[in-house]
Amino acid sequence: MKFRLLWLGLLASPLLALAQTADELRQITIVPGRTVAETAVQTAGTLLGKPYVYHTLEGNEHEQLVVNLHEFDCSTFIETTLALALAEQELPAKYTPAQLETTFCRYLTKLRYRNGQIDGYASRLHYLSDWLRDNERKGLLQDVTHDIGGIQVQKAVNYMTAAVHKYPHLADPAVYKQMVQVQSDISQQPFYFIPTKLFKSLESKFREGDIVMLTAARPGLDMRHVGYATWRNGRLHLLHASSDYKKVVLTPQPLAEYLLANKRLSGVRVARIKSTAVRMAMQPESPQETVSARR
């Protein structure tokens, strides 16, 4: 197994809304697997204990890419580690830190924004239903909930516009109107989910590194949480940035028991990561410094 060390300096740039300054470099270990999904979940495992922090993407007057490699909420944890895995797969066997940073930021933008384009606050994929559907269109994910045994439902979504005090950007009438349209589009789309009571019986159909989205029991909200499925001692667990534990954790109990114990959750949706990028193995080496690799 090879280990790649990534140093992404959080430097001032017109392309990045920065989470930290240049002297607060953080080290990320990319652990390549046989698939993008394995790389993502193994890399995510190196971040155990990193702090959970709310609203890490907020605070900018104008929407821009935010890179934060040392604290996460549940969504940014998935986006960051998946973007790293996709970048690792696409790059040649030896690559420079600059190549990695550029490719990583491109994938992070592609995952986080509608059609992969930053175009204001409403272009960010705030709802996980929207995030899943958009990234399925991009060819990065596949919604496999129906294949696993999910049932079809439809749910009206209005959480953000009903809680404007939590989202200052919605004070702008134009942005508010855009989010109303986003919510309307989501509300009109039937989807499949696996109810909590059925989860254990279908557990064996999950794969390592599947993205598990935990559906909300409350009205108006599609999904409450997200993490990676990972097998431990024959049972499926959740690797995630947890607001309860205030850090990145692996659930001590199997996911089936975790769901049963949390009445705020109604079940799950499942996204499978697609391996679509092609490694450019024959690309000539750059004379610049390369990222260290140990095979």
Q: What is the pLDDT of residue 172?
A: 97
For residue 85, pLDDT beyond 90: yes
Q: What is the C-alpha separation between 252 and 245, in angstroms, rounded?
A: 11
Q: What is the pTM of this model?
A: 0.86
pLDDT at 287 over 50: no
Res. 289: pLDDT tops 60: no
What is the chain's mean pLDDT, rounded?
Answer: 86
Query: Identity (one letter) of the amino acid at 84?
Result: L
Percent of the chain beyond pLDDT 70? 84
Q: What is the pLDDT of residue 284?
A: 35
Taking the C-alpha atoms of residue 23 and residue 16, their distance in angstroms, rounded to an integer, is 16
Mean pLDDT of 211-239: 98
Q: Check residues 59 and 267 and name the one with the higher pLDDT.
A: 267
- Sequence-separated (6 or more) residues with CB below 8 Å from residue 91: 99, 100, 103, 279, 280
Report whether pLDDT(199) > 90.
yes
Residues 6+ apart with CB under 8 A from 230: 41, 45, 208, 209, 236, 237, 238, 239, 250
Rounded to an integer, what is the distance from CA 126 to the centroid of its chain?
11
- Residue 93: what pLDDT? 86
Using alpha carbons, select from 102, 100, 120, 123 the residue that is nearest to residue 111.
123
Q: How far apart are the C-alpha atoms of 232 and 201, rounded to whole Å?
A: 17
Q: How confident is the model at residue 13 (pLDDT cuts 50, 70, 90)?
A: very low
* pLDDT value of residue 94: 87
Given a contact cutoff of 8 angstroms between Cβ atoms, the answer to whether 89 and 279 are in contact is: yes
In angstroms, rounded to a whole number, what is the distance separating the alpha carbons of residues 9 and 69? 10
pLDDT value, residue 276: 53
Q: What is the pLDDT of residue 21?
A: 28
Range of weakest confidence among 52-66, 206-220, 227-241? 52-66
On the question of pLDDT at 235 being above 50, the answer is: yes
> Could you tell me which residue, 95 or 23, shows the higher pLDDT?
95
Q: What is the pLDDT of residues 249-280, one digit of tens each?
A: 999 999 999 999 999 999 999 999 997 544 43
Residues 113-120, mean pLDDT to the nearest whole number = 97
Q: Is the pLDDT of residue 5 over 60?
A: no
